[in-house]
Amino acid sequence: MTIPSHLLDTSRPAPTLSYRPDTAPRFVGTDPTFLAALDRLERYARHEHAVVLIEGESGTGKSFFAQQLHRMSPRARGPYQCVVLSTLDDNLAASDLFGHVRGAYTDARNSRLGCFSSGSGGTLFLDEIGKASPSVQRKLLHAIERREIWPVGSDRPIRIDVRLVAASNVPLAELVASGGFLPDLLARLNAFRIRIPPLRERAGDIPALVEQFLDARAAQCGYTAGAPSMEARLLRLLQAAEWPNNLRQLDATVQRLLIDADGAPVLTFSHLGDDIGELEAPAREQTLTPARVRQVVEAAGSKTDAARLLGVTRQTIHRYLTRERDDETRLGDG
């Protein structure tokens, strides 16, 4: 499957609340799981009343997916609003989302439209929906089921016409299991679900992503004659890394490499400096495997650099490699 050309069309109208084009990850890659996510994005965008849930780790591009879904939908010329629920004050969240009438509370001197009303005809993106309070979750469930909201202090509901897109960096099923999320709300959101794979699951796409970020960042970082190249050893290391903060972290790493290289025509392993350990999630020895250790050693080129990347001692690296050899010897003897 190839990426549909219209998914890459930058001539489409921009959302009302624009994203930062210098930091937004683009649709680059051939990983089947990622392409499947793009395919769902395209199909769900056409159905303007479908409530879409986007799940993925921090930095995988959930906001960009939501913006693109809006751009490709019949609501593309309507408003696009993004609300990060974790940033809302618990006491005012209902007013921000659903509005309030004059006199609803002490400081409510005037009526106010919430996001559901002001976004009429467009898309409302609720990021970090897992952080919503139980009260807001119940109101969201009502809004989805009835297509209406109750402004704070009002004695009558208001019909709404907004396409809802939600996102979470934690699987909502886990929050339901721990009692932190309404199962009925998850059932409504889960009907149209898109999972964006983390970068470590699409390591084959990293060379293309690195090239993209190099092209985008080179001029900003002082390169006047185009982007530099990258040595094979460094690229192998980037592919072997865990990337706990995903695309956002890869982009930042490329910027740092460009700046530290100070105009060098080739980016090398040495330009990583002491930042190498940031490329790997904190390692717990009990979660390491001999195969994983060997992969990192081969990518880094030495046990010392692999130890720095994994955040363990060189002796630990040696122990795991020895264990792997011993296991292979036992299998051969058997």
Choice between 41 and 280, residue whose per-residue pLDDT is larger:
41
Taking residues 104-120, what's their average pLDDT? 79
Q: What is the pLDDT of residue 274?
A: 65
Confidence of residue 294 (pLDDT cuts 50, 70, 90): confident
Neighbours of 165 (CB within 10 A): 31
Domain ranges for the chain: 5-195, 203-333
pLDDT tens-digit map of 153-199: 888 899 999 999 999 999 999 999 999 999 999 999 999 999 999 99
Q: Is the pLDDT of residue 91 over 50?
A: yes
pLDDT band at residue 326, thresholds of 50, 70 and 90? Answer: low
- Which CATH number does 203-333 carry? 1.10.8.60
d(CA 117, CA 98): 7
175 versus 300: the higher-pLDDT residue is 175
Q: Which pLDDT value is given to residue 24?
A: 43
- Per-residue model confidence as pLDDT tens digits over 213-262: 999 999 999 999 899 999 998 998 898 888 989 999 999 999 999 999 99
CATH class of 5-195: alpha beta
DSSP letters along 101-141, please?
-TTSSTT--S-B--HHHHTTTSEEEEETGGGS-HHHHHHHH
pTM of the model: 0.79
